[in-house]
Structure 1
């Protein structure tokens, strides 16, 4: 492993699952890696399929007698490859940017070089098929039903990719579930996938620390520092205790009350699960680093906002950016607060109209000055606006009675509006003024 940070530049998806035709996603802007890449779309629009496609770009390394490091996409070692259940014309591929970390630890700042496939990194074909996809010949990394690329292991061994689906549960069977190095990253996007057992891992770190293990001591210190950043609102510390009833357990300080992990809210449990699982993977990947959490990685998260209160949705981005400064995030969301909170966002919007899928990359790099309603209506396509359907219907009836100068009926509707509208709403004051302008005749 050398001092290169490898990131996704572009990804091409063609005829994969719900995506009929070719789709390009850019994860860099003007030659610089974008740290926060957000994929927005309605339910069943294909957001998760994009993450699954990207996860399959994980490299698998081969041993060569000449000592040369070579790699191929990990899907190529599957027993059922080429995938018979995919379109004959399907393709998933990518280009990469990489940088030298020696002079810039948080190497998302670059400068970056383009990864290029050398002449020795051949395209491998199946069944003697010679008319492989043109994209396989153009992009330096990828695979189709007919062929896959070979890669330069000296560079691509630094392409570190992890993923988390909507089922983010702390494991109950020890550390092996979440730390198996042979487990494909795409598997973590599947339902019911369990991550590491957080409590068991912390107890092991505590035990190793007490026995003089410096690496465990450093990891425990980093996790303590992570807790104090307020990334978990109201959680300020954790400690280890032993008693006859529970044995050795971990307690978390939640608003000055010590609680077990399973006594915390579900949003806390699931967020602890994926963040601590990711921390362990980074510790395992970079065992000699002074701070493994600041090393490079590509992280896929499906529905980042899941189970988070809106105030937590608004704050979690800044903490993730600080704790993992060299991680390239590719996330899906349904949250206007997530979009609003990212200072430099690379936003892709998916629209699926009766099977006709489009992906649009927006021009703006920030929505921090946009209101929740403006993002909901103009970016997320929530045309109904900020008010409920019932409220809108009442307002329409109120305006009709105003047009007819029917103060009696307008007053009845106004009273109904007053029962459901915010008591200090400016709209209520406007409705009152409009009502008062009608004579009592």
Structure 2
């Protein structure tokens, strides 16, 4: 059975935020490792994740969003913080352009926000330049990448260089550094080794030693986000050396961006193995990450119409028991037709679900066609197969 998470969302109510008139997710538990949001473009997935983030972190990095509100809004949250049940509420008055934020500051860091919470928008390729750690902390709050698309991520390359300088003085630093590099290699497909050469990281990507600017965009997106998570949560738990002991909540908008379908399925599972004490809340346009969802994950559909605005619904789909085609046609995605537009006759459809089996059958059909044009008999096992 899934272990309880120290930080987890239990319930959220959103009233009149952007395209959301009124919606609610409730009855979540602290044994839910992943929460997935799916829905069409423009239905309000990003708005929901931004409302959640503002409710947790406050309005510091969201004033540009709140000032565009056309009416008052309210966001209410119930969640576990380090095992304790907490309530938060943020209200925005459109007329006065002022907000009130009710929260328990026990879990808040020196930056005036909770330091267990990280949030990422779909643009995850920009990494902060060569600044001091103090400058990075000042310029980049952990939720800024989601709330402000200009929010760059902390530099894991710079962090590793700084850790390397302290390695001889503190044995724990060396252990932590080795663990981080091993974790990053596990998370990035087709990267077999990472080395620090001089002032820069090098990545062995399919036999080629690439710099951080040369690696594939998918690898760079994974590196940037995972690196940012590691830096922030290790800063919160400075005595910790094992990434698997880091605790928090991570929000990811458009999880599938930049990632090949083969790896989309593996990514949720790998992230949960790397950070088993972190709850992940994400949106995705692709059904494939759902196939890799860990046990006890929850799945919600975000829908929007002109009358009701954006609604978030639990459609009760048991993803782990569905064939991929059934997942696409389920209420989660509502894809009515799975066939190519080039298909003229449905009788031409290959009945197999596995491409290798289709290829084997076509080769066999070609053999049968050739031998049928001769006087030789067709082998019985060919026909029965």
TM-score range, shorter chain: 0.7 to 0.9
Matches of residues 350-429 of structure 1 in structure 2 within 5 Å? 350-354=302-306, 356-364=309-317, 366-391=318-343, 394-395=344-345, 424=358
Q: Give the Cα separation in 1 of the matches to 2:64 and 2:222.
A: 34
Q: Shift of the alpha carbon at 1:167?
A: 0.8
How high is the TM-score relative to the length of structure 2? 0.78
Change (3 A) 1:326 1:160: same
Q: Give the Cα separation in 2 of the matches to 1:395 and 1:175.
A: 63
Matches of residues 177-216 of structure 1 in structure 2 within 5 Å? 179-180=136-137, 183-189=140-146, 190-209=148-167, 211-216=168-173
Q: Shift of the alpha carbon at 1:114?
A: 3.1
Contact 1:38 1:332 in 2 (8 A): yes
Structure 2 portions without partners, runs of 5+: 94-98, 364-385
Higher relative contact order, chain-length normalized (CA < 8 Å, sep 6+): 2
Q: Give the Cα separation in 2 of the matches to 1:181 and 1:305.
A: 29
Q: 1:137 maps to what in 2?
A: none
Equivalent of 1:163 in 106, 119, 134: 119
Instruction: State the secondary structure of the residue aligned to 2:335.
Output: coil
Contact 1:279 1:293 in 2 (8 A): no
Which of the pair has more CA radius of gyration? 1
Q: 2:85 maps to what in 1?
A: 114
CA root-mean-square deviation: 3.3
Segment drifting more, 175-184 vs 303-312: 175-184
Instruction: State the secondary structure of the residue aligned to 2:183.
Output: helix
Q: 1:126 maps to what in 2?
A: none
Instruction: State the secondary structure of the residue aligned to 1:34.
Output: coil
Change (3 A) 1:334 1:202: same
Partner deviation per Cα, 1:67-126 (whole Å, 9 max, x = no partner): xxxxxxx32x689699553243411110122455xxxxxxxxxxxx533xxxxxxxxxxx
Q: Shift of the alpha carbon at 1:39?
A: 0.7
Change (3 A) 1:79 1:303: closer
Segment drifting more, 338-347 vs 195-204: 195-204
Change (3 A) 1:361 1:424: same
Equivalent of 2:180 in 220, 223, 226: 223
Matches of residues 30-429 of structure 1 in structure 2 within 5 Å? 32-59=30-57, 74-75=58-59, 83-98=66-81, 100=83, 114-115=85-86, 140-146=87-93, 148-154=100-106, 160-168=116-124, 169-174=126-131, 176=133, 179-180=136-137, 183-189=140-146, 190-209=148-167, 211-228=168-185, 230-242=186-198, 248-291=199-242, 293-342=244-293, 343-354=295-306, 356-364=309-317, 366-391=318-343, 394-395=344-345, 424=358
Q: Shift of the alpha carbon at 1:52?
A: 1.0
Contact 1:9 1:33 in 2 (8 A): no
Structure 1 portions without partners, runs of 5+: 60-73, 101-112, 116-139, 243-247, 400-413, 430-441
How high is the TM-score relative to the length of structure 1? 0.69
Change (3 A) 1:97 1:159: farther
Alignment coverage as a number of residue pairs: 342
Contact 1:282 1:293 in 2 (8 A): no
Q: Give the Cα separation in 1 of the matches to 2:8 and 2:66.
A: 26
Contact 2:17 2:69 in 1 (8 A): yes
Q: Give the Cα separation in 2 of the matches to 1:288 and 1:56.
A: 29
Segment drifting more, 353-362 vs 7-16: 353-362
Change (3 A) 1:99 1:249: closer
Contact 1:261 1:269 in 2 (8 A): yes
